[in-house]
Each structure stands twice: as structure tokens, then as C-alpha cells.
Amino acid sequence: MSSPKKSILWFRQDLRLIDNPALLKAIESEEVIPLYILDDDNAGKWKMGGASRVWLHHALDDLNKQLDGKLNLYQGKADDIIPHLVSEYDVGAIHWNRCYEPWRINRDTGLKSALTSTEGLLVKTYNASLLWEPWEIAKKDGTPYRVFTPYYRKGCLNAHPPAEPKPKPNNINATKLPCSLTLEALSLLPTKPAWHQTIMSLDDWDISEQGAHDRLNDFLDNGINSYRQGRDFPAMKSVSGLSPYLHFGQISPHTVWQAASKLEADKNRDHFLSELGWREFSYYLLYHFPTLPHDNFQAKFNDFPWQDDDGWLRAWQQGKTGVPMVDAGMRQLWQTGYMHNRVRMIVGSFLIKNLLINWRHGQDWFWDCLFDADLASNAASWQWVAGSGADAAPYFRIFNPVTQGQKFDPNGDYIRQYVPELKDMPNKYIHCPWEADFSTLREANVMLGKTYPSPIVDLKESRQRALEAYQVVKSDSAA
């Protein structure tokens, strides 16, 4: 079959040229119209948050440069814009890589059926962001897995191996349309407060496709060798830091998986691979249970006695709870658009269990603040912490932020970086300044309640309160 003369390549969560199946197909046409549409209208509540928009701005800038300035940008409903472009510019084919958010599935399904009925238009979709399609993996009885380990071990690892990444095309004959918006017109960077400037200055992200590959290679050369232990220490650089790149598709999970797989088999490598498995599991859950971001996965949580308190929520968001490990994490999030995974679990447990605030509030805040905000991972992870999710943490697992700090940040390096008002506290008290005697506090220039808050809750009491609240879901009746 001869290829149509003009093809649209619709970029979505695949902002890359390497290992991009839709791109490889589109360039079989003489002319490719590369396209990105900022579709807040269809996204509704889940339109991109502030930090994600900053990342997106730079990712699009990089992609546009790679395409010699030929990336076409639009804003609005993709299902309006695309049919318009198809007829306006005599397009013969459209290619895109699949997404899995429920709102995108709905939009794309409708759009695809509308376009398919267009005379002479070829519409093709591809897999570019998951190692295993959610519909490929099922239990023997045909129903979806609800537990990670069998999903991953029996379901994924026994299915076909992940695909080898495809090469970057040599030559892309891209066309810039006159009606394309400029990147600036998308207004992805906030103007005030000048938050995106602090956010960028405080970390050293290279938000580009090359940056993604550099980070992968650096991780494979260094961090992965101590991944299994090191990944728990927030002051160490033992995590890959690939999550935002994977979210925006600046690197494919296939590239990451295959590169890691080629290392010598050991526990560090396999643990890292299994984290890619968790990413798959989150998408799998979201695909099979599309209400995951809104409803408790386990219905017995519907009667949970949340005690949402605005003041406590605000203190948590601002990193002013008076609990150093929690505050350090929340400030890292606000200042850098990122939070170390170990700390995400600690601040999540604190919000949900010590403060008894609904997991949805945590989800919303992370959605707005994280560079790697991802509907699937965010929803699955918050429900995991709450205990309401699939294969979730048991209700009685309540992190003690002091113990966690002493275990995983024994020298207080992480605290000192993000909670500088405690930087002169001795290690012994840096995770629990309220236990220090007066002279220790004075020597460290800390005045509790003035220079640093007193804890908003007593850890022991609030733990007890959580255990009582969780009595409601203790019985495993009514799933």
C-alpha cells in the first residue's frame, strides 16, 4: 500500500524522537505535520497542574528544536481541532501513540470513530508508553489482577518480553502550518509568583530528550549499583529521577527496561525493573478501574471518618507541621517539583493517618506540585498509602516520621537542606526538636513556635486516633 502524501503525527505523552512508533510510521509519508494540542477542555479536573506545565513548556521547546521549529502547537479540544486540520490541509493519515487516562481514552475513542468515517483517511494508533498493554494481562479466570506480585511475576514476566526500542528516524520532512500557536501563547509558565524560576534554580533538570538519556545512562553507570538500599535514603542520589521523563514520554519505558536488562542480573537491577513494573501496575489499575482517581478502590472505605481540617491541610502543604521529616519533604516538593519516594510515603502516611485528612487532598496537591504528576501513579499510590487501594498498605501501617528520619536520614542532611532553620540542631534531635532541652535549642538558634513550628499533632496520640478511626474498615466485609 502506498503511503498518503501528508500525515499528521499527533504528539501526546510521547515527546521524543527515539523509540516513537507513531513517528516512524508517519514519516513514511512525504510530509509530516507534527502536532501537539494542549487540551485542558477535555481534561476537566485532571488538566495539567502547575509544575507539569512548567515541565511541558521545556519539553515542547526541546521537541520543537529537534524538529527544526516545525512543531505545530494548538490549544483546545483535540476532537475539534484535528478534524478541522485534516480537512483544511488535505491530510491522508493520522498517527498517534495511545494514552490510558480515562478522559483521553474517551476523547480518542470518539475522535477515532469520527475520523475513520472520513473518506480516504488512515487512522492508526500505537503503543509507546507501556511495556504490556493493560488488556493483555489477566488472571486465568479472565479478570484483572488486584495484587502486584502475581500481576508482575506471573502476568507480565511470563508474557512477551518488552519490545526493543526503535531507532530515531534519520530524516523528518516536517511541515509548519500557518495557524500554529507559539509556545509562549500556551502560557505554560506562571508569571507570578516567580515560582518556576525558583523551581528551576533549585534543581538541575535538563528537560530534554537528551537529558532523559543522559540521566538514564548516569543512573545505569552509578546509582543502580546501590539502588536497593540507596533508594531509601533521600539525601543520596540513588534513585533514577526518570519519572517526569517517563511521564511526558521523553524516554520510553522500553528504552529504560532494555538498557537495565542488559546489565548483569542482580538484586539492584531487578528491584529497579520491578519499579517499572509498579508503573505498569498503576496504569493497569487505572485502565481496568477508571474511577481510581475519584473513588475508593475498596468500597468499605466509603464510610471512613475523615476529619478534613483546613488549617492542618495548609500546614502540611506549606511544610509547617513542626515535624521535620514531613516539612522537609513538602518543601522539597514546593521548591523543586519533586519529592524523594521514601519521603512521599512518609508525608502521605502523616496526612492520611496522623491528620486523618482524605487521601484525595494529598492527591490534588501532588497533582499540582509534581513535575512527574501522573494520573495513574498518583491515584494508585495515594490509595495505596490510605489502605483503600489495590494491594494496599495495611491500615495499621503508620509511619513514625521521627523513626523514619533516624533510619533513612541519620545525619539529618535532608532536613538541613530543606528546613534550614534546623540546620544547627544536633543529629540526636534534628528529627524531634520538641524533645531537645532548652539549652540545646538555644545553641541551635531554634525557638519552637517561633523560628520553627511546634508539632501540630502529638505523634503518639494521633497514631492512636488513626487506629481507632480505621476500626471502620478493619472487618473485611463488604468489598
Partner DNA sequence: TGAAATGTTGGGGCG
Partner DNA sequence: ACGCCCCAACATTTC
Residues serving a catalytic function are 275, 278, 306, 341, 359, 382
Check binding of 404 to DNA (CB under 7 A). Answer: yes
Nearer to DNA, 342 or 360 (CB): 342
Amino acid at 288: H
Which residue, among 452, 406, 422, 463, has the nearest Cα to 234 in the 3D structure? 406
Check binding of 400 to DNA (CB under 7 A). Answer: yes
Locus of grid cell 543522559: 214
As measured in angstroms, the least distance from the Cβ of 395 to DNA is: 8
Burial letters for 463-474: b for 16+ Cβ neighbours within 10 Å, e otherwise?
A: bebbeebbeebe
Helix H or strand E segment including 281: helix 267-288
As measured in angstroms, the least distance from the Cβ of 199 to DNA is: 25
Number of residues that bind DNA (CB under 7 A): 20
Question: Cα separation of 258 and 444, whole Å?
Answer: 49
Q: Using CB under 7 A, which of the segments 115-123, 216-224, 292-300, 391-399 binds DNA?
A: 391-399
| Residue of the chain from 23, 56, 78, 459 that contacts DNA (CB under 7 A) | 459
Check binding of 397 to DNA (CB under 7 A). Answer: yes
Nearer to DNA, 313 or 390 (CB): 390
Which residue(s) pair with 73 in the sheet? 36, 181
Q: Using CB under 7 A, which of the segments 33-41, 67-75, 293-301, 455-463 binds DNA?
A: 455-463
Question: Cα separation of 306 and 357, whole Å?
Answer: 6
Q: Which of residues 261-290 bind DNA (CB under 7 A)?
A: 275, 278
Check binding of 175 to DNA (CB under 7 A). Answer: no
Check binding of 230 to DNA (CB under 7 A). Answer: no
Angle at 187 between CA 185 and CA 193, to 5 degrees: 150
Nearer to DNA, 38 or 398 (CB): 398
Interface map 320-359 toward DNA (x if CB under 7 A): ---------------------xx--x--------------
Full 3-state SS string of 395-445: CCCCCCHHHHHHHHCCCCHHHHHHCHHHCCCCHHHHCCHHHCCHHHHHHCC
Nearer to DNA, 22 or 466 (CB): 466
| Residue of the chain from 313, 398, 436, 446 that contacts DNA (CB under 7 A) | 398
Question: Cα separation of 472 and 453, whole Å?
Answer: 32
Check binding of 386 to DNA (CB under 7 A). Answer: no
The DSSP secondary-structure symbol of 353 reads: I
Check binding of 467 to DNA (CB under 7 A). Answer: yes
Question: Cα separation of 135 and 334, whole Å?
Answer: 36
Interface map 62-81 toward DNA (x if CB under 7 A): --------------------
Nearer to DNA, 20 or 354 (CB): 354
**320 contact partners, CB below 8 Å, separation of at least 6:** 327, 453
Question: Cα separation of 214 and 193, whole Å?
Answer: 31
Check binding of 392 to DNA (CB under 7 A). Answer: no
Instruction: Sort strands 31-38 and 72-75 into parallel, antiparallel or unpaired.
Output: parallel
Interface map 122-151 toward DNA (x if CB under 7 A): --------------------------x---
| Residue of the chain from 77, 139, 168, 463 that contacts DNA (CB under 7 A) | 463
**188 contact partners, CB below 8 Å, separation of at least 6:** 38, 53, 54, 56, 57, 60
Nearer to DNA, 213 or 279 (CB): 279
Interface contacts to DNA, rule CB under 7 A: 148, 275, 278, 341-342, 345, 393-394, 396-400, 403-404, 407, 459-460, 463, 467
